[in-house]
Structure 1
Amino acid sequence: MKLGFHLGYWSAAPPEGAHDAFALAESLGYDSVWTAETYGSDCLTPLAWFGASTRTVSLGTNILQMSARTPAATAMAAMTLDHLSGGRFILGLGVSGPQVVEGWYGQPYPRPLARTREYVELVRKIVRREAPVSHDGQFYQLPLQGGSGLGKPLRSMLHPRRSEIPIYLGAEGPKNIALAAEIADGWLPLFYSPRMDDFYRGALEEGFAQPGARHSLDDFEIAATVPIVVDDDIEKAADLVRPNIALYVGGMGAKEANFHNQVFVRMGYEAECERIQQLYLDGRKAEAIASVPLAMVEDIALVGSVEKIRDDLRRWDKTVVTSLLLQGLGYSSIHTVAKLLE
């Protein structure tokens, strides 16, 4: 299993030590480094800025929100970063949720799976640069229909370093996971639980079985984001993960459309999720955080002593996951974790 470092998205300000963290992760044999975005900092700029200090690790977006950019803008950024990195770029894409898509980007959310399929198809067509691009889709048209009438099919002035840049999809529900297996080169799970491995295998196999699927399980990348906190006091370690779980379960998305919440419901935490969400939406965030049980943390994170984490890793070895993207560790712990996972 490969090891990656996930910087995540920024909150109020840039994280300290990120430049050194990228360089250190590479020097210790990490396979990849990743950045994220939400309604704040973007993911491409930090990846290029901090990634400039690296020479061998893969550089990935986890995830680039599709509603923020047209397919052409995404393809341009992917080709540019692929050139600058010497062919090390991985394009991680995701749809986000209706609150962000419509509330922040001002784009329509309905039919996200069909939109994703068309978006990926168009990005690949642009990157291949086989001909001037024409596309008459349900969601995207090149040239635009109903405009000035002066648009014409164009081909990228930039020649791609690679005609196929790897595309991974962020997905949580079974239909989205199946879509990733069908049309993408990898899947980026956010809250992966090893005990749900059979469920995920089933969703993936549904996608691999579709006509025209690009991969099978044998050559498909699954890079799971995994919070990790090394501390002999397991409750103290879990306390560093609880706020993030409470945010996603309780406050990330509308009550009737919170896909992160449903991930934990499928794990068997329906009552806990309902309580966390209600407390969070009532503005009682501290209580919501305190309501996240230890078992819920341990399902999706590596927390506790070095010995416990080393033992817990055995669960991950048996899953479909090909890369652990470690998140939440202090930059000073990157070396400790690399030694732990040897």
Structure 2
Amino acid sequence: MPRLAASLIFSHTSLAAQVDLVRTLEAAGFDRVFFGEAWREPVVPMAAALGNTSSVGIGSAISQIFPVNPVVTAQQVAQLDELGPGRVSVGLGVGASFVVERWFGIPFERPLQRAREFTEVLRGVLASPEEGPFSYDGQLFSVRKYRLPFTDKAPHVPIHLAAVGPRMQALAGEVADGVVIGALHSDRTMEQTLKWLRAGAGKRGRRVDDLHIWYYLACCVSADPDRARALARRSLVYLAQYPHYHAVYAAEGFGEISARIAELVRAKDMEKAEQTVTDEMVERFAVAGTVDECRAQLRRYSDYPGTPVLHLIPFRISEDEVRESFHLAAELAR
């Protein structure tokens, strides 16, 4: 069995209930629990989890970089590391263009350059307690002699980039400590990811083995295996709405089906969209069933590099069912 991580993305679930779930996953031996930025920002849940656990890693996956400043992000990261020394990681991503522009009112421009500079500024500010005041002249960001004022030691926090396309994956290999890849992948797409990570790492004289890979897996665990597979279908429907995931579906031979699913979603015919997801798609892209069935399915990934991140998006799924699935998923790591 590979090591396991989990991604929690909740809207209505209280922080107390989220912390309780993190404790369950920690006790089961999960390697890391990530908080995603969707309906909640991740910093407060991370702080709550760090303050109520003792060993499990806590990370963001993913924090959006368009609506925030990297100096402020460095302050947040350093304080999180103060709460849980050595347990924090930060995952950065550009987000979706329609989210950035619709919700935050920011033009979605030069995402690759922004990701590069944001990472460089974040790393430089985190190093400033030991290396001295940090200055930076970039195309998008400028910093003049800033030093973290509340610590004398540089927080050593891994920085991961969310990367689906080849250029962002190459950038992750060049400037980050690891990569968070999307929720749809295969042996072929993983080979392509390693190729681009290797190309980026080579620019800095590093090896791909120096990077950590986190790959998301749609996962639903239930005492009722049919229910688990039905809910997994809903996560696969959700992913079909995004162009980059449609491209993966298409590359794996499901392009026509994915396009049909997206069309049905736009028409708000969700039930038919779910029915259009084939059993083969569930088997290829998700882990779903009873604890024993999911444990057997996870062994398919034993030769994958990196760590699987189990997730279940509350898309037409109650958050009660999502939490129940994760409590059962804790058994997978035992």
TM over 0.5: yes
CA shift for structure 1 position 232: 6.8
Residue of structure 2 equivalent to 1:17: 17
Report how far residue 233 of structure 1 moved.
5.6
Deviations 1:281-339 (A, max 9, x none): 2222332232222222222221124443333223201112x222222385455565444
Instruction: Kindly report which structure 2 residues correspond to 1:120-269, keeping only aligned pairs within 5 A, or say none.
Output: 120-129=119-128, 130-143=131-144, 153-159=145-151, 161-196=153-188, 197-209=190-202, 211-212=203-204, 215-231=206-222, 234-250=225-241, 252=242, 258-269=243-254
Q: What secondary structure does 1:74 align onto?
A: helix
Report how far residue 20 of structure 1 moved. 1.3
TM-score (normalizing by structure 2): 0.87
Q: How far 1:235 sits from its partner (Å)?
A: 4.1
Q: Do the aligned partners of 1:48 and 1:81 also contact (CA within 8 Å) in 2?
A: yes
Q: Which amino acid aligns with 1:19?
A: V
> Secondary structure, in 3 states, of the residue corresponding to 1:312?
helix
Deviates more, 1:327-336 or 1:73-82: 327-336
How far apart are residue 33 of structure 1 and its match? 1.2
Contact 1:238 1:297 in 2 (8 A): yes
Q: SS state of the match for residue 203, structure 1?
A: helix
Residues of 2 paired with 1:41 and 1:335: CA distance? 21
Deviation at 1:138, TM superposition (A): 0.9
| 1:44 equivalent in alignment to 2:10 | no
Q: Which moved more, 1:116-125 or 1:43-52?
A: 43-52
2:318 is aligned with 1:326: no
TM-score when scaled to structure 1? 0.85
- Matches of 2:154 and 2:116 in 1, distance apart? 21
Alignment of 1:282-301 (within 5 A): 282-301=267-286
SS across alignment from 2:240:
helix
- Cα distance in 1 for partners of 2:78, 2:140 equals 23
Structure 1 residue identity aligned to 2:140: F
Q: Secondary structure at the match of 2:104?
A: coil
Q: Where does residue 86 of structure 1 map in the other structure?
A: 85
Partner amino acid, structure 2, of 1:165: V
Q: Distance in 2 between matches of 1:6 and 1:338?
A: 13
CA–CA distance in structure 2, aligned partners of residues 292 and 188 of structure 1: 25
SS state at 2:33 partner: strand
Q: Deviations over 1:252-308 (max 9, x none)?
A: 5xxxxx323223223222111211111112222332232222222222221124443
Q: Structure 2 unaligned segments of length 5 or more: list them.
A: 313-320
Instruction: Please state if 1:270 is matched with 2:255.
Output: yes
| Residues 15, 45 of structure 2: 8 Å contact kept | no
- RMSD, aligned CA: 2.3
Whether the 8 Å CA contact 2:21–2:323 is kept in 1: the answer is: yes
Asked whether the 8 Å contact 1:235–1:294 carries over to 2, the reply is no
SS in 2 for 1:99: helix
Q: 2:289 aligns with which of 282, 304, 309?
A: 304
Q: Is the 8 A contact 2:6 2:310 kept in 1?
A: yes
* 1:35–1:63 contact (8 Å) kept in structure 2: yes
Whole-angstrom distance in 1 between the partners of 2:85 and 2:157: 12
User: Deviations 1:76-111 (Å, cap 9, x if unpaired)?
Assistant: 111110111123110111000110112212222122
In the other structure, the counterpart of 1:2 is: 3
- C-alpha distance in 2 between matches for 1:119 and 1:100: 19
Distance 1:179 1:95, change over 3 A: same
Please state how far the C-alpha of 1:31 moved relative to its aligned partner: 1.5
Range moving further from structure 2, 279-288 or 13-22: 13-22
Gaps in structure 1 of 5+ consecutive residues: 144-152, 253-257
Q: 1:100 to 1:141 in 2, by over 3 A?
A: same
> Could you tell me how far apart the structure 1 residues matched to 2:304 and 2:57 are?
22
Aligned-partner Cα distance in 1 for 2:140–2:14: 34
Give aligned pairs, total.
322
Alpha-carbon separation, structure 2, partners of 1:19 and 1:221: 25
After superposition, the Cα gap between the structure-2 partners of 1:267 and 1:158, relative to the gap in structure 1 and judged at 3 Å, is farther
The structure whose residues are more often helix, as a share, is 2
Q: In structure 2, what residue type is equivalent to 1:309?
A: C
Q: CA distance change for structure 1 residues 86 and 15 in 2, over 3 Å: closer, same or farther? A: closer
Alpha-carbon distance in structure 2 between the residues aligned to 1:281 and 1:330: 24
CA contact (8 A) 1:60 1:92 kept: yes
Cα deviation 1:102-139 (Å, max 9, x = unaligned): 22122221221121111101111111102333222111
* Percent of residue pairs identical: 29
Q: Secondary structure at the match of 1:104?
A: helix
Residues 183, 266 of structure 1: CA spacing in aligned structure 2 closer, same or farther, 3 A cutoff? farther
Query: Which segment drifts farther, 130-139 or 66-75?
Result: 130-139
